[in-house]
Amino acid sequence: MPKVLVSDKLSETAVQIFRDRGVDVDYLPDVGKDKEKLAEIIGQYDGLAIRSATKVTEKLLANATNLKVIARAGIGVDNVDIPAASRKGVIVMNTPFGNSVTTAEHAIAMMFAVARQLPEASASTREGKWEKNRFMGVEVFNKTLGVIGAGNIGSIVIDRALGLRMKVLAYDPFLSEERATELGVKKVELDELLGKADFITFHVPLTEKTRNILSREAIARLKPGVRVINCARGGLVDEEALAEALKEGRVAGAAFDVFAVEPATDSPLFGLPNVVVTPHLGASTNEAQENVALQVAEQMSDYLLTGAVQNALNMPSVTAEEAAVMGPWIKLASHLGSFVGQMTDEPIKAINILYDGVAATMNLNALNAAVIAGLMKASNPDMNMVSAPVAAKERGIQIATTHQDKQGIFDGYIKVTVVTDARERSIAGTVFSDGKPRFIQIRGINVDAEIGAHMLYTRNKDVPGVIGALGMTLGDLGVNIANFTLGRSKAGDDAIAILYLDEPIAESALAALSATGKFLQVRPMQFEV
């Protein structure tokens, strides 16, 4: 039974989901703040469910000897060292949809607050003043809203803004013209948005490309009288430059829920008129907190129990439905990678993967990861679908993927070709109707080889006596053959044999086969079946 640690506060309903699904769970909501205690116990767990308090560092991961998945109840994963987790082979998930509506609503609320100076007007009135003339606001009706980032949250903000009869401009390099039309927005470049928007709101993650996206130079290009809202991530805006623009009157107002340094006990924006600030409340509603908690429990349980991967940040996602259908194909992809990995001793320059027929309609990113993982395990058994692609990239291995409509007699197949300085080596396989993977071609030679845990590969010239020598030698040494597959390119040319054995073959048996002088190559192989 998989075991999960919940190290931050999570709803009891979410904890119960783990139990109901058959996952052993320890709910220790304060242990995330105790680094030493967490490091002491983390080795017991297959999964770690967190919010923002737990910091998953490379040092902590070094102690996480059994950890397979980390899931963050929320969107931001600034508290997780994702590259270190990837090298460790640990999947990192978040829950991007559970608090999307809540965060979008907060951005809209902040826009209204800064448009009508609500916090200051409220404070003034509570002090017994009646300053109607002081708090002259602006309508949002017919104003232009610039949305930077049109993903999950940004698209909800767009929908709400259009309902308020605002004009909406969107800047997002990943937004297609078709999607922009579907959303009802005009897609523009950043400079055009900055120069035309009456309100600007951010809905992008903090990356090297988005950091300081509203820089001092960008602030100088803003439309006079603009109001800036940031409920996404601190660090997207140069707060000092924005404060100067507010003091000079070039920017009419700002509403910030996030800051470059949090907790934000001080900021250049504090104390300025018509600046609304909140303590990172974007996802702080009862509904959102419950939604992300339930989502994280479902996602982790699905992965640990069925292999389904949802909302992963460091490997391809595979739905439960895909996992059920693709399971044998993922196993096949891993076997193909394992075969060429075990057969290749020299450095690999490239891996070329061809998907045919039904295989080409599947989740190719997941199948690619399985091929690479199978190959990399030949030199490092700890590699998996998370860590192997990272390792391959670090080694400069080029990965190329092609797909084609059904060719030949099989409904679909996968062919893997490995390129080194010395040679190219290829193998192809398919999944039969019984759900079992088979090797169907090696070195261009057609075969039909069932895959077992312990196998033997031999290559020889197609001459009489080889099969007899193979069978007699292994028989004399007590090696039992479960399955025997032969293939040749043409009479008198290269021939191969794939033997499925009951047990690992001993070094003495390999030496005896080589000593017959009949084999060009003798190679034992192991597969995870």
40: domain CATH number is: 3.40.50.720
pLDDT tens across the length of the chain (529 residues): 899 999 999 888 999 999 999 999 999 999 989 999 999 999 999 999 998 899 999 999 999 999 999 999 987 788 999 999 998 989 999 887 777 888 999 999 999 999 999 999 898 899 999 988 888 899 999 999 999 999 889 999 999 999 999 999 999 988 888 899 999 999 999 999 999 999 999 999 888 889 999 999 999 999 999 999 999 999 999 999 999 999 999 999 999 999 999 889 999 999 999 999 999 988 778 787 888 889 899 999 999 998 888 888 888 888 777 777 888 999 999 999 999 999 998 889 999 999 999 999 998 999 999 999 999 988 888 788 888 888 888 888 999 999 999 888 899 999 999 999 988 999 999 999 888 899 999 988 999 999 999 999 999 888 888 888 888 898 888 888 888 898 888 877 889 999 999 999 999 999 999 999 989 999 999 998 8
How many structural domains comprise the chain? 3
Clarify whether residues 224 and 331 are in a common domain. no
Clarify whether residues 145 and 80 are in a common domain. no
Clarify whether residues 448 and 336 are in a common domain. yes
Q: How far apart, in whole angstroms, are the C-alpha atoms of residue 44 and residue 5? A: 9
Q: Is residue 57 part of a domain?
A: yes
- Structural domain for 84, as ranges: 3-97+287-306
Clarify whether residues 121 and 172 are in a common domain. yes
Clarify whether residues 255 and 391 are in a common domain. no
Q: Is residue 311 part of a domain?
A: no
Clarify whether residues 75 and 141 are in a common domain. no
Q: Is residue 74 part of a domain?
A: yes
Clarify whether residues 470 and 508 are in a common domain. yes
Give the Cβ contact number of residue 92 at 10 Å.
Answer: 24
- What pLDDT, on the 0 to 100 scale, is given for residue 55? 94
Q: Is residue 315 part of a domain?
A: no
Q: Is residue 313 part of a domain?
A: no
Q: How far apart, in whole angstroms, are the C-alpha atoms of residue 484 and residue 499? A: 5
Residue 358 tokens, joined: 């039904």
Residues 178/232, Cβ–Cβ less than 8 Å: no
SS3 content of the chain, % helix, strand, coil (to 5): 35, 25, 40
- What pLDDT, on the 0 to 100 scale, is given for residue 77? 85
Counted residue by residue, the chain has a size of 529
Clarify whether residues 82 and 116 are in a common domain. no
Q: How far apart, in whole angstroms, are the C-alpha atoms of residue 204 and residue 153? A: 9
Clarify whether residues 173 and 260 are in a common domain. yes
Enumerate the β-bridge partners of residue 420: 348
- What pLDDT, on the 0 to 100 scale, is given for residue 129? 92
- What pLDDT, on the 0 to 100 scale, is given for residue 201? 98
Q: What angle do CA 155, 192, 205 make, to 5 degrees?
A: 40
Clarify whether residues 64 and 185 are in a common domain. no
Which one-letter amino acid corresponds to residue 181? T
pTM, rounded to two decimals: 0.66
Strand order through the sheet with 424-431: 398-404, 348-357, 412-420, 424-431, 437-442, 445-450
Which one-letter amino acid corresponds to residue 304? L
Clarify whether residues 482 and 516 are in a common domain. yes
User: Which CB contacts under 8 angstroms, 24+ apart, belong to 383-389?
Assistant: 383/89, 384/89, 385/315, 386/85, 386/86, 386/89, 386/90, 386/91, 386/314, 386/315, 387/86, 387/87, 387/88, 387/89, 389/315
CATH code, 441:
3.30.1330.90
Residues 95/74, Cβ–Cβ less than 8 Å: yes
Clarify whether residues 379 and 480 are in a common domain. yes
Q: Which of 2, 96, 93 is nearest to 50 (CA)?
A: 93
Residues with catalytic roles? 233, 262, 280
- What pLDDT, on the 0 to 100 scale, is given for residue 147? 97
Q: Which of 265, 292, 256, 266 is nearest to 8 (CA)?
A: 292
Provide CB contacts within 8 A for 300, sequence distance 6+. Answer: 4, 18, 23, 47, 49, 69, 71, 93
Provide CB contacts within 8 A for 421, sequence distance 6+. Answer: 346, 347, 349
Q: Which of 267, 180, 280 is nearest to 232 (CA)?
A: 280
How buried is residue 157: exposed, middle or buried, by Cβ count under 10 Å (0-12/13-18/19+)?
A: buried
Q: How far apart, in whole angstroms, are the C-alpha atoms of residue 158 and residue 149? A: 10
